Amino acid sequence: MIKTLIADDEKHARERLKELLVSFEIFDITAEAATGNEALEKIIMHKPDVAFLDINMPGISVFSTLPSLSHPPIIIFQTAYSEYAVEAYNINALDYIMKPFSRERLEKTVGKIQEKMYAQSQSLEASAGNVGESASGKTEIISIKVRGTIKIIHVKDIQKICFEDGLSFIYTHEGRYMTDKYLNYYEKKLVNSGFFRTNRANLVNLDYIETIHHMFKGRYLVELKDKSRVDLSRRKAVALKKKVDF
């Protein structure tokens, strides 16, 4: 889950944003704040991954305090005032949302957050070494957060990883698990572990492919052992033929 702080001096605005973020099922609303002072205190105290900040809150200015933080969270500004956009990007804010915003607009922000966190995780992995990889570079285990705990998943048990409704899900014989990582992350992570990207939204374990159905106009459907089916694009079919020889 993504630890998140919401700061806005209007309670109804905090409640609406909280409701929208909770619907994505990847955000843990760790703290809320109604003033600039309170926002800074709770960022330091709770160390959120992401902070959604209103610009015109009472108290100290977020623009003057955020640059002083040694490890600031990912910053998303939400405001009714467009004139602060330049200042927002000058302090490396990831996004700037104009109120009132729709869920569709927020989905774009969520995508940016996932991409940013993926890039950060890649950087950390490069510094820490290839944890979970065998000597051959093959990834054998991955971990995800499930209700406040860390669940270890053996890669050989993963049937597919899918991007659905703005979220990524890992499918195993035990069930479906939501993950806050982007599909591109798993494609790179599992490149040596027998996984294949059939289209923009699906990454499948080649060991679980049972049938390949030839459709029309060069399209195919890949059927897995659990009888689920995913599309195989024409371009990806050419690449898969080299691996499976069909």
pLDDT digits (tens, 9 = 90+) for 166-217: 778 999 998 999 887 888 889 988 988 999 999 989 999 999 999 999 887 7
* Rounded CA separation 100/246 (Å): 52
- Residue type for position 60: I
Residues of the chain with pLDDT below 50 are 128-131, 135
Name the burial class of residue 123, with classes exposed (0-12), middle (13-18) and buried (19+) by CB atoms within 10 angstroms of its CB: exposed
Give all domains of the chain, ordered by start, each with its CATH number. 2-126 (3.40.50.2300), 141-244 (2.40.50.1020)
What are the b/e assignments for 151-172, b being 16+ CB within 10 Å? Answer: eebebeebbbbbbeebbbbbbb
pLDDT at position 62: 73
* Rounded CA separation 246/243 (Å): 9
pLDDT at position 85: 62
Give me the sign of the Cα torsion angle 93, 54, 4, 114: negative
Closest among 155, 176, 158, 154 to 167, alpha carbons compared: 176
| Angle at 110 (CA atoms; ends 194, 10), nearest 5 degrees | 160
- Residue type for position 52: F
pLDDT at position 18: 94
pLDDT at position 122: 64
Task: Specify whether the CB–CB gap between 22 and 48 falls below 8 A.
Answer: no
